[in-house]
């Protein structure tokens, strides 16, 4: 049986490949699994990222899946663990960040962890406990209108406290000014006061180095993918590998499925619509004649298939989205859109020669990879920070897949991504 050293549990699929991509950039060989594998780890690697779809399910279910993932990772020989959630701290007052962190700490017999959502490369930073996305506070960034986890408060200790039974504290930039030693001192202080989870300020990559070094004796860390760049160097004897991102080429037709309503994805849809064949999902039709509408989307993609990608998109601006959600319900409309996009993917891969797929949105990506029967992903080169090309494991033929977090990527990613493939 193969073994790994770092075991990661990600609460959505795009977040998992984001983290995997950062670990690969830091020279780790990484395997990403879809769900908790039924068999032991088969490939020799440095880190495993188990992708769950646990961000928006009921807290009890998220805890159950996360604990199963932990058990499997311990069986794979992992010594340290990382719980990956969104760099915009996507959660509700019930969870699932707090409940999962609590359960993992309990299962490991540990009493303290850090919450480090920051990802400076994508301008997610934390100052005095307040999370910024770009130049603005989280609650002014568009995330206040997120369809499933609207984020209306940027002060993370206050967001996290109702989700956990452990007292929440802060490792502020004052502690970080002292580098790794400052982080260690602050952790000792907070532990002595009975704090169980501390949110960390982070302004830049240097802070991520200090946090990783200063917390190297913690068995569990939690946060965004930023730490993925600095964690590997804290493993004794670790030597970065130059060939960590190598993939075999995959030929075939190209498809973009956009199920995210995030600002970056909406801008990317506009950019792509002007350049490639594109069709929007009609949510009303999904409630009146689901199968017929899916047939229509599949026929459009098949008819317009050529050298470049075809785009099928559901994402819409907040006012229109609110209207849809009022009429059909948030969960029901989200589920229908996910099912429609996943069915389009399955049919076009089976019948339409599609082999290269970019999916926008974490929940959407989860639905798509499940329906395609993907059991794992090999992580390849990065398209934009946090968005790697990957190659599927478990499908009848290998597929090139890019699972893009809603707010990641440049405006042109839906076309440029395919130019990067051999």
Ligand X SMILES: Nc1ncnc2c1ncn2[C@@H]1O[C@H](COP(=O)(O)OP(=O)(O)OP(=O)(O)O)[C@@H](O)[C@H]1O
- The tokens for 326 are 């009022």
Give SS3 for 125.
Answer: strand
- Which of the listed partners (ligand X, ligand LCNOYBR7, none) does 147 bind, with a CB threshold of 5 to 8 Å by partner kind? ligand X
State the virtual CA torsion across 138, 123, 92, 159 in degrees, nearest 10: -70
Q: Least Å distance between CB 212 and ligand LCNOYBR7?
A: 17
DSSP 27: T
Cα 386 from Cα 118, distance rounded (Å): 12
Q: Least Å distance between CB 61 and ligand X?
A: 16
Count Cβ neighbours within 10 Å for each residue of 334-361 and write b for 16 or more, e otherwise. Answer: bebbbebbbbbbbbbbeebebbbbbbbb
- Which of the listed partners (ligand LCNOYBR7, ligand X, none) does 17 bind, with a CB threshold of 5 to 8 Å by partner kind? none
**395 CB-near residues (< 8 Å, 6+ apart):** 349, 372, 373, 374
Q: Least Å distance between CB 105 and ligand LCNOYBR7?
A: 21
- Which of the listed partners (ligand X, ligand LCNOYBR7, none) does 379 bind, with a CB threshold of 5 to 8 Å by partner kind? none
**64 CB-near residues (< 8 Å, 6+ apart):** none
- For ligand LCNOYBR7, which stretch binds (CB under 6 A), given 41-49, 86-94, 227-235, 283-291? 86-94
| Kind of pairing between the strands at 220-223 and 113-116 | parallel
Q: How many residues bind ligand LCNOYBR7 (CB under 6 A)?
A: 13
Q: Which is nearer to ligand LCNOYBR7, 264 or 305 (CB)?
A: 264
Cα 346 from Cα 321, distance rounded (Å): 26
> Is residue 248 within 8 Å of residue 42, measured between CB atoms?
no
Cβ atoms within 10 Å, residue 188: 10
User: Is residue 232 within the footprint of ligand LCNOYBR7 (CB under 6 A)?
Assistant: no
Query: Which residues, 351 to 370, sit near ligand X by CB under 6 A?
Result: 361-364
User: Is residue 262 within the footprint of ligand X (CB under 6 A)?
Assistant: yes
Q: Least Å distance between CB 110 and ligand X?
A: 28
Q: Least Å distance between CB 88 and ligand LCNOYBR7?
A: 6
Query: Which residues, 88 to 107, sit near ligand LCNOYBR7 by CB under 6 A?
Result: 88
**320 CB-near residues (< 8 Å, 6+ apart):** none
Q: Which is nearer to ligand X, 210 or 262 (CB)?
A: 262
Give the residue, chosen from 3, 57, 67, 148, that forms a contact with ligand X under the rule CB under 6 A: 148
Task: Return the bridge partners of 92, or none.
Answer: 95
Task: List residues near ligand LCNOYBR7 by CB under 6 A.
Answer: 12, 14-15, 18, 86-88, 119, 224-225, 362, 386, 405
């Amino acid at each position: 049986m193969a073994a790994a050293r770092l075991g990661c549990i990600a609460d959505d699929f795009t977040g998992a490949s984001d983290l995997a991509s950062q670990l690969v950039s830091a020279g780790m060989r990484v395997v990403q699994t879809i769900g908790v594998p039924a068999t032991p780890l088969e490939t020799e690697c440095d880190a495993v990222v188990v992708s769950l779809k646990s961000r928006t399910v009921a807290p009890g279910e998220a805890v159950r899946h996360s604990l199963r993932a932990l058990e499997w990772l311990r069986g794979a020989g992992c010594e340290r663990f990382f719980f990956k959630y969104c760099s915009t701290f996507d959660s509700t007052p019930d969870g699932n960040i707090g409940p999962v962190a609590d359960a993992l700490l309990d299962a490991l017999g540990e009493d303290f962890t850090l919450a480090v959502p920051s990802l400076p490369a994508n301008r997610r930073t934390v100052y005095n406990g307040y999370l910024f996305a770009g130049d603005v506070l989280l609650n002014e960034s568009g995330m206040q209108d997120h369809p499933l986890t609207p984020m209306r408060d940027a002060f993370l200790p206050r967001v996290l406290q109702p989700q956990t039974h452990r007292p929440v504290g802060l490792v502020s930039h004052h502690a970080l000014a002292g580098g790794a030693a400052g982080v260690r001192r602050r952790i000792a202080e907070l532990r002595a006061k009975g704090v169980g989870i501390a949110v960390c300020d982070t302004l830049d990559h240097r802070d991520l180095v200090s946090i990783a070094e200063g917390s190297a004796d913690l068995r569990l860390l939690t946060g965004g993918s930023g730490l993925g760049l600095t964690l590997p160097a804290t493993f004794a004897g670790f030597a970065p590998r130059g060939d960590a991102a190598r993939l075999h080429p995959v030929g075939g037709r190209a498809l973009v499925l956009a199920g995210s309503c995030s600002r970056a994805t909406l801008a990317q849809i506009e950019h792509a619509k002007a350049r490639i064949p594109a069709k929007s999902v009609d949510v009303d039709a999904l409630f009146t004649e689901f199968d017929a509408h899916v047939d229509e989307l599949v026929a459009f993609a098949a008819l317009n298939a050529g050298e470049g990608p075809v785009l099928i998109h559901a994402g819409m601006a907040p006012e229109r989205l609110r209207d849809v959600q009022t009429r059909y319900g948030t969960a029901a409309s989200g589920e229908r859109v996910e099912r429609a996009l996943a069915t389009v993917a399955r049919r076009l891969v089976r019948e339409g020669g599609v082999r290269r797929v970019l999916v926008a949105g974490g929940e959407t990506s989860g639905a798509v990879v499940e329906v395609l029967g993907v059991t794992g992903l090999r992580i390849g080169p990065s398209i934009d920070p946090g968005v790697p090309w990957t190659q599927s494991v478990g499908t009848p033929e290998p597929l090139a897949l890019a699972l893009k977090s809603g707010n990641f990527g440049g405006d042109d990613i839906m076309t440029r991504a395919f130019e990067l493939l051999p």
